[in-house]
Structure 1
Amino acid sequence: MDKICLHAMEFYAYHGVLEEEAKLGQKFVVDLEVATDLRRAGETDNLDDTLSYVAIYDVVKQTVQAERYQLIEAVAETIAARLLRKFSRIESVRVKVTKVMPPIEGILAGASVEIERARN
């Protein structure tokens, strides 16, 4: 299956269990991979035969920035569900959400979850 990938989309948002996370916010990074058939688009060179990167990005941005979740698992699940619902051409979606500076005593680049969901 062919794939469209959007890498390292950065957002400032207010997800987390701790009160400070909801109040101060922090940076999140989302990586996305959608599986779809790109053959026709490759043959026709026509945007109508593929999925718009901009439209996909807008769904991710709306989910991450306009709403608040306690768990990054819920952020990832919501992104996947909305993309599958909105774009019938998507066969499956892989979403990775990284909390860049999680409130952990220690040195780490981030904490992330990665999920994959397919159309039935």
Structure 2
Amino acid sequence: MDKIQLKGCRFYGYHGAFSEEQTLGQIFVIDCTLSVDLKKAAKSDDLEDTVHYGLVFETIKKQAEQKKYKLIERLAGAICQDIFDGFAPVEAITIRITKENPPINGHYDAVGIELERVRE
């Protein structure tokens, strides 16, 4: 299956299990891969024959910046549902959400989750 990728999308949001996270907020890095049949677009050179990744970015941004969840798993699930609802050609989604500065005492680059969803 062909892929459309959005990598390293950065958003400031208020998601987290701790009250400090929901009050102070933090940066969330989101990578999203969409499985889409791109054969028609590869021949036609027409935006109508693909999924407009700028609109997908705005869909992700809306959830990441305007909503508030305790779990990034829930944030990822909500983003997947919005993408499936708004973009019929998307057959599957892999989404990764990373927190670079979670409230964990220790040394690490980042923590995060990855979901894989297939259209039902």
TM-score normalized by structure 2?
0.98
Which residue identity lines up with residue 10 of structure 2 in the other structure?
Answer: E
Tell me the number of residue pairs that the alignment of Structure 1 and Structure 2 aligns: 120
- Displacement, 1:17? 1.2
RMSD between aligned residues: 0.6
Aligned to 1:56: 56
Task: Provide runs of 4+ in structure 1 moved above 3 Å.
Answer: none
Offset, 1:45: 0.3
Residue 24 of structure 2: aligned partner: 24
For 2:74 and 2:54, how far apart are their aligned partners in 1?
23
Matches within 5 A, 1:10-89: 10-89=10-89
SS in 2 for 1:16: coil
1:113 CA drift (Å) = 0.5
TM superposition shift of 1:101: 0.6
Q: Does 1:112 align with 2:100?
A: no
Specify every segment of 5 or more residues in structure 2 that has no aligned partner in the other structure, as ranges.
none
| Identical pairs, percent | 38
CA distance in 1, matches of 2:63, 2:35: 20
State the shift of 1:85 in Å.
Answer: 1.3
> Which blocks of at least 5 consecutive residues in structure 1 are unaligned?
none
- Deviation string 1:51-104 (CA, Å, 9 cap, x unpaired) is 101110010000000000000000111111110111110000011011111111
Q: Deviations over 1:6-41 (max 9, x none)?
A: 000001111111111111111100000000000100
